Amino acid sequence: MEKQKYWILVGTRPEVIKQIPLYFELVRQQGPENVALIGTGQHRELLDQALAHFNVKLTLNLNIMQANQTLASSSAAVLEGMGALFQKNKPEWIIVQGDTTSAAMAAWAAFQAGVKVAHNEAGLRSYNLQHPFSEEANRRLISVVADLHFAPTERAKKALIKEGVDARKIYITGNTGIDALRWTLNQPRPDSVHSLLLDLKENGLKPVLLTAHRRENKESMDEWFQALTQFLGLNPGLALVYPIHPNHAAKPAADKYFTGARQVRIIPATSYGETCHLLSECEFVVTDSGGIQEEASTMGLPVVVCRKTTERMEAVDAGMARLAGTETQSVLAAMNWALQKGRPKKAGINYDIFGDGFAATKIAYRL
């Protein structure tokens, strides 16, 4: 591998989604010979799927994913693998994104090797190390060693300053996930989404998107899936569309409450493009995920967040999201709020809560 000035790191699907707009922009500004796209392979199949959506290929892939991997084993593999790469070829910068194991360990390896670290999506905080686990700890670790912090919002910048980060090293750029959303919504709608929406329409149903996968929610899935079932019983014109996450954390609750349900469509895990185009037709979203809070609220869709905390309070403050927890009655109340609030007449980037869709240009300008 030739020596490049910038390494952009990706290990999971969300990292690809939020790093590829920056990759495109740096290639445009600096030339392809100065930019490398480095994969860890933390989530191999989902990583490949997301790369295919943007029609890009990795410069190099560590391929760390193993059967029955743990946080400890994957952390060690990324740290060791990136450390070995830095010994062979040191870039000037590595850009990590968000709060994954890949991002945290790559940033730590870069710090040890004397490589400068830029943090895309810096400053998100829930202030609870267990929620989300282990992401909250990962992003705090990155903030300690990062040389530049690209904060998506003013709230994120304030969180970093409160922790002692030099304000001169922080830039508010918006979130590159909105760049990816803008690009994706301009692509043709996938046939799979068209078929699903047609099926629902023929059955007189309007879609509500459900995503559920958080480790810390595994024990409480039963409660909020019970709320989902009660809500559907009260609203016969709605249908839950539930793409099963590969970690199957919610599968027992889904099997218990959704088997044979007329108003539920359980489908395989959707690609990023399918998710965005499906999202654009939904009434609202029920989720314990992270990035989808940004995408849905940006499009003007109400978001029911089934978590105890969220690092994306901007959507709550803007009146686009409710932090519902996971108890049956609170989730049910939040879903009733979302239904009453309703979706916008036109899908698209309707709100500048997490950025205007041009964050990558602002980040590249500062590197």
**For the segment 341-365, what is each residue's pLDDT rounded down to a tens digit?**
999 887 778 789 999 999 999 999 9
φ, ψ of residue 35 to 5 degrees: the values are -130, 130
Residue reference for tokens 């099997």: 255
Catalytic residues: 99, 121, 135, 213, 215, 245
pLDDT tens, position by position, 284-342 = 999 988 899 999 999 999 999 999 899 999 999 999 999 999 899 999 999 999 999 99
> How confident is the model at residue 103, as a pLDDT?
97
DSSP code of residue 220: G
- What is the enclosing helix (H) or strand (E) of 211? strand 206-211
Q: What is the edge-to-edge ordering of all strands in the sheet holding 285-287?
A: 264-267, 238-243, 206-211, 285-287, 303-305, 321-323
> How confident is the model at residue 151, as a pLDDT?
98
Give me the residues of the chain with pLDDT under 50, please: none
- What is the enclosing helix (H) or strand (E) of 198? helix 191-202
Contact predicate 300/344, CB 8 Å: yes
Structure tokens at 339: 């239904």
> How confident is the model at residue 7, as a pLDDT?
98
> How confident is the model at residue 26, as a pLDDT?
98
Q: Give the integer Cα–Cα distance in Å for 303 and 286.
A: 6
Residue reference for tokens 């654009």: 280
Q: Where are the domains of the chain?
A: 6-172, 191-341
> How confident is the model at residue 218, as a pLDDT?
65
The residues with which 304 forms a beta bridge, in sequence order, are 286, 322
> How confident is the model at residue 47, as a pLDDT?
82
With vertex at residue 225, the alpha carbon angle to CA 348 and CA 250, rounded to the nearest 5 degrees, is: 85
HEC string of 22-88 equals HHHHHHHHHCHHHEEEEECCCCHHHHHHHHHHHCCCCCEECCCCCCCCCHHHHHHHHHHHHHHHHHH
Q: Do domains 6-172 and 191-341 have the same CATH topology?
A: yes
DSSP code of residue 169: G
Superfamily of domain 191-341: Glycogen Phosphorylase B; (3.40.50.2000)
**6-172: CATH architecture:** 3-Layer(aba) Sandwich (3.40)
**Whole-angstrom distance between the N-terminal and C-terminal Cα of the chain?**
22
